[in-house]
Structure 1
Amino acid sequence: MSVNVDVQEKLSRLGIYNELDLILHLPIRYEDETHLFLIGDAPQGHTVQVEGVIIHNEVVIRPRRQLICRIEDDSGILVMRFVNFYSSQIKTYAVGKRIRLLGEIRNGFFGAEMVHPKCRIVRAGESLAHSLTPIYPTTAGLTQKTLAKIIGQGLQDTQTLQALIETVPDKIIRKYRLKGFDDSVMCLHHPSPEESIEALQTRTHPAWRRIKFDELLAQQLSMRVHYRQRRSLNAPVLEQKNTLKDQLLPQLGFELTSAQIKVYAEISRDLTAAYPMQRLLQGDVGSGKTIVAALAALQAIENGFQAAIMAPTEILAEQHFMKLSAWFEPLGVHIVWLSGGMRKKQKQTEMDKIASGVAQLVVGTHALFQSQVVFHQLGLAIIDEQHRFGVHQRLALRMKGTQSDLMPHQLMMSATPIPRTLSMSYFADLDVSIIDQLPPGRSPVITKLIADRRRDEIIARIHFACQQDKQVYWVCPLIEESEALQLQTAMETYQHLRKTFPELNVGLVHGRLSPQEKAEIMLLFKEGKIQLLVATTVIEVGVDVPNASLMVIENAERMGLSQLHQLRGRVGRGPEASICILLFQQPLSKIARERLRIIFEHTDGFEIARQDLQLRGPGEFLGARQSGVPMLRFADLEQDGELLEAAQDCANEMLNNYPELAQQHISRWLGNKTEYLRV
Structure 2
Amino acid sequence: MSEGRIDLVLPSDADPLVVQDRPAAPAPPPLDVILSGKELTAVRALGAVDLDGLLRIAPRRYVVPGPLARIADITAGEEISAVVTVRDVRDRPMRARRGSLLLVTVEDSSGPLTLTFFLARGHLVEYHRRFLRPGVRILVSGTAGEHRGEPQIVHPDYVVLDDGPTIDEAMRPVPVYPLRGKTTQKTMRAAFATALEHADVLTPVVPETVLRSQGLPPLAEALRLLHAPREEADAQRGLAHLRFEEAFVLQAIFAQRRAADDLTPAPALTAAGPLQIRLRERLPFTLTAGQEQVTEQIAERIARDRPTSVLLEGDVGSGKTVLALLAMLRAVDSGHQAALLAPTEVLAEQHHRTITELLGELGRAGRLDGVPEATSVRLLTGSQRTADRRRTLLDVVSGEAGLVIGTHALLTEGVEFSSLGLVVIDEQHRFGVDHRRALRRRGADGSSPHVIVMTATPIPRSAALAIVGDLDVLTLTEMPARRAGTESFLVPERLPAWEDRMWRRVAEEVRTGRQAFVVCPRIIDGEAADGAGQGAGGAGGEGAGGQTEGADPPRGVEQTLERLAADPRLAGLRLGMLHGRMSTEDKQEAMRAMSGGELDVLVATTVIEVGVDVPNASAMVICDAERFGISQLHQLRGRVGRGEHPGIVFLATTAPPESEAAEHLRAIAATRDGFELARLDLERRGVGDLVGTRQSGLHATLRHLDMLADTDVVDAARQQAARVVEHDPDLDAHPGLARAVADRLRDADPDVERT
Residue 503 (structure 1) shift: 1.1
Residue 601 (structure 1) shift: 2.5
Contact 1:103/1:117 (CA < 8 Å) preserved in 2?
A: yes
Contact 2:482/2:643 (CA < 8 Å) preserved in 1?
A: yes
2:296 corresponds to which of 265, 268, 282: 265
Q: Distance in 2 between matches of 1:313 and 1:258?
A: 31
Does 26-35 or 311-320 show the bigger shift?
26-35
Is 1:173 the counterpart of 2:206? The answer is no
Partner of 2:499: 455
Q: Distance in 1 between matches of 2:656 and 2:405?
A: 44
Q: Distance in 1 between matches of 2:182 and 2:130?
A: 32
Which secondary structure state, in structure 1, belongs to the residue aligned with residue 118 of structure 2? strand
Contact 1:283/1:417 (CA < 8 Å) preserved in 2?
A: yes
Is 1:275 the counterpart of 2:309? The answer is no
Which is richer in helix?
A: 1
Is 1:367 the counterpart of 2:409? The answer is yes
Flag the 1:290–1:620 CA change in 2: closer, same or farther, 3 A: same
Residue 163 (structure 1) shift: 3.1
Does 362-371 or 581-590 show the bigger shift?
581-590
1:407 corresponds to which of 448, 464, 468: 448
Contact 2:554/2:624 (CA < 8 Å) preserved in 1?
A: no
Instruction: Trace 1:479-628 onto structure 2 (pairs within 5 A).
Output: 481-483=529-531, 489-500=556-567, 501-587=570-656, 592-619=661-688, 624-625=694-695
Which secondary structure state, in structure 2, belongs to the residue aligned with residue 551 of structure 1? strand
Residue 587 (structure 1) shift: 2.2
Residue 490 (structure 1) shift: 2.1
Partner of 2:26: none
Flag the 1:146–1:403 CA change in 2: closer, same or farther, 3 A: farther
Residue 554 (structure 1) shift: 1.9
1:88 corresponds to which of 107, 123, 145: 123
Residue 248 (structure 1) shift: 1.8
Partner of 2:6: none
Report the TM-score, using the length of structure 1 for normalisation.
0.86
Is 1:324 the counterpart of 2:363? The answer is no
Flag the 1:443–1:241 CA change in 2: closer, same or farther, 3 A: closer
Instruction: Trace 1:117-136 onto structure 2 (pairs within 5 A).
Output: 126-128=164-166, 130=169, 131-136=172-177
Residue 576 (structure 1) shift: 1.8
Is 1:71 the counterpart of 2:104? The answer is yes
Residue 561 (structure 1) shift: 1.1
In the TM superposition, what whole-angstrom CA distance separates every residue of 1:150-202 from its partner, at most 9, and x where no partner exists? 43333333x834635972427x736x55455543332222222xx2x3x56xx
Q: Distance in 2 between matches of 1:592 and 1:385?
A: 26
Partner of 2:192: 151
Is 1:436 the counterpart of 2:487? The answer is no
Partner of 2:31: 3
Contact 1:280/1:411 (CA < 8 Å) preserved in 2?
A: yes
Residue 388 (structure 1) shift: 0.6
Q: Distance in 1 between matches of 2:554 and 2:659?
A: 28
Partner of 2:390: 348
AA matched with 2:516? V
AA matched with 2:53? D
Report the TM-score, using the length of structure 2 for normalisation.
0.78
Which secondary structure state, in structure 2, belongs to the residue aligned with residue 360 of structure 1? strand
Q: Distance in 2 between matches of 1:28 and 1:125?
A: 30
Partner of 2:18: none
Does 525-534 or 351-360 show the bigger shift?
351-360
Q: Distance in 1 between matches of 2:602 and 2:299?
A: 39
Residue 494 (structure 1) shift: 1.3
Does 533-542 or 627-636 show the bigger shift?
627-636
Flag the 1:95–1:579 CA change in 2: closer, same or farther, 3 A: same
Which secondary structure state, in structure 2, belongs to the residue aligned with residue 673 of structure 1? helix
Flag the 1:508–1:49 CA change in 2: closer, same or farther, 3 A: same
Q: Distance in 1 between matches of 2:621 and 2:505?
A: 10
In the TM superposition, what whole-angstrom CA distance separates every residue of 1:499-547 from its partner, at most 9, and x where no partner exists? 1223111122222212221221122112222112222221111111111
Which secondary structure state, in structure 2, belongs to the residue aligned with residue 462 of structure 1? helix
Which secondary structure state, in structure 2, belongs to the residue aligned with residue 635 of structure 1? coil
Identity of aligned residues (%): 32
In the TM superposition, what whole-angstrom CA distance separates every residue of 1:13-32 from its partner, at most 9, and x where no partner exists? 53533333333333232224
Is 1:189 the counterpart of 2:231? The answer is no
Q: Distance in 2 between matches of 1:562 and 1:28?
A: 30
Flag the 1:588–1:14 CA change in 2: closer, same or farther, 3 A: farther
Partner of 2:428: 386
Contact 1:391/1:627 (CA < 8 Å) preserved in 2?
A: no
Q: Distance in 1 between matches of 2:530 and 2:49?
A: 38
Q: Distance in 1 between matches of 2:310 and 2:402?
A: 22
Which secondary structure state, in structure 1, belongs to the residue aligned with residue 487 of structure 2? strand
Does 105-114 or 344-353 show the bigger shift?
105-114
Q: Distance in 1 between matches of 2:262 and 2:401?
A: 28
In the TM superposition, what whole-angstrom CA distance separates every residue of 1:574-620 from its partner, at most 9, and x where no partner exists? 11222112222232686534532332222121122123223333348
Contact 1:263/1:434 (CA < 8 Å) preserved in 2?
A: yes
Flag the 1:239–1:506 CA change in 2: closer, same or farther, 3 A: same
Q: Distance in 1 between matches of 2:311 and 2:272?
A: 23
RMSD: 3.7
In the TM superposition, what whole-angstrom CA distance separates every residue of 1:49-97 from its partner, at most 9, and x where no partner exists? 67747733344473x4344322221313232124xx4453354455995
Is 1:55 the counterpart of 2:126? The answer is no
Residue 385 (structure 1) shift: 0.3
Contact 2:687/2:697 (CA < 8 Å) preserved in 1?
A: no
Contact 2:251/2:718 (CA < 8 Å) preserved in 1?
A: yes
Partner of 2:519: 475
Flag the 1:608–1:627 CA change in 2: closer, same or farther, 3 A: closer
Contact 1:234/1:407 (CA < 8 Å) preserved in 2?
A: yes
Which secondary structure state, in structure 2, belongs to the residue aligned with residue 4 of structure 1? helix
Contact 2:116/2:155 (CA < 8 Å) preserved in 1?
A: no
1:23 corresponds to which of 46, 55, 59: 55
AA matched with 2:50? N
